[in-house]
């Protein structure tokens, strides 16, 4: 499958691109002009695009789209809303217009019911709004909500759903593996699941 990856040069996105390649998919990295693409596998196709001003044809020829970008709440309210909410919603709309088969969203634990008193309140609200937009889009979707991310590769031993400990951790390698699963595994169609590494 041709899989457009938003956030392909990020910590999770890079792992995802490599995971998709290893599984025989054709990842297409959505990159900004200023992105450092040196860590991407040498033969990775790149498509220029900025989540704050996406071109209308950005999803053309893609079978699936994975949104693995995010400010993590570090860009301030304005930057967070521009990327995590508005950028995601625009990409969802363009994916629907391009008849993409599946849209996989890397969300966050807490995005289901954002706590207004949380330090990450704005970030979680932005993620919530994007997730809800995806659910209403008509696209076949999968939404993954991992707990706090670590830089580990993980063991692929994971827990999902209501049994997840919100105070636990999720290895980025495990997250990338699940995102790759969600691209073409029918078990993920229409699912919104929390996730942790074990």
pLDDT tens string for the chain (198 positions)? 999 999 999 999 999 999 999 999 999 999 998 889 999 998 999 999 999 999 999 999 999 999 999 876 567 889 999 999 999 999 999 999 999 999 999 999 999 999 999 889 999 999 999 999 999 999 999 999 999 999 999 999 999 999 999 999 999 999 999 999 999 999 999 999 999 999
pLDDT at 161: 96
pLDDT at 72: 61
Query: Which residue among the candidates 67, 103, 123, 141 is catalytic per the annotation?
Result: 123
Residue 123 annotated in active site = yes
CATH class of the structural domain 2-197: alpha beta
Report the 10 Å Cβ neighbour count for 20. Answer: 25
**Helix 172-184 vs helix 11-22: angle between axes, to the nearest 10 degrees?**
50
Cβ pair 42, 82 in contact under 8 A: no
Report the 10 Å Cβ neighbour count for 39. Answer: 13
pLDDT digits (tens, 9 = 90+) for 148-174: 999 999 999 999 999 999 999 999 999
- The full set of domain ranges for the chain reads 2-197
pLDDT digits (tens, 9 = 90+) for 63-83: 999 999 987 656 788 999 999
């Amino acid at each position: 499958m041709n899989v457009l990856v938003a956030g392909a040069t990020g910590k999770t996105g890079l792992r995802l691109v490599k995971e998709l390649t290893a599984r025989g998919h054709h990842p297409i990295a959505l990159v900004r002009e200023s992105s450092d693409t040196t860590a991407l596998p040498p033969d990775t196709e790149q498509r220029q695009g900025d989540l704050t001003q996406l071109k209308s044809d950005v999803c053309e020829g893609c079978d699936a789209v994975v949104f693995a970008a995010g400010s993590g709440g570090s860009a301030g309210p304005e930057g967070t809303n521009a990327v995590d909410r508005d950028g995601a919603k625009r990409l969802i709309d363009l994916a629907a217009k391009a008849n993409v088969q599946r849209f996989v969203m890397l969300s966050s634990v807490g995005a289901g019911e954002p706590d207004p008193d949380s330090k990450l309140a704005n970030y979680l609200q932005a993620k919530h709004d994007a997730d809800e937009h995806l659910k209403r889009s008509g696209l076949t979707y999968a939404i993954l909500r991992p707990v706090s991310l670590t830089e580990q590769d993980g063991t692929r031993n994971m827990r999902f759903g209501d049994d997840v400990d919100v105070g636990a951790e999720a290895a980025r390698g495990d997250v990338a593996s699940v995102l790759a699963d969600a691209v073409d595994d029918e078990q993920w169609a229409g699912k919104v699941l929390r996730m942790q590494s074990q």
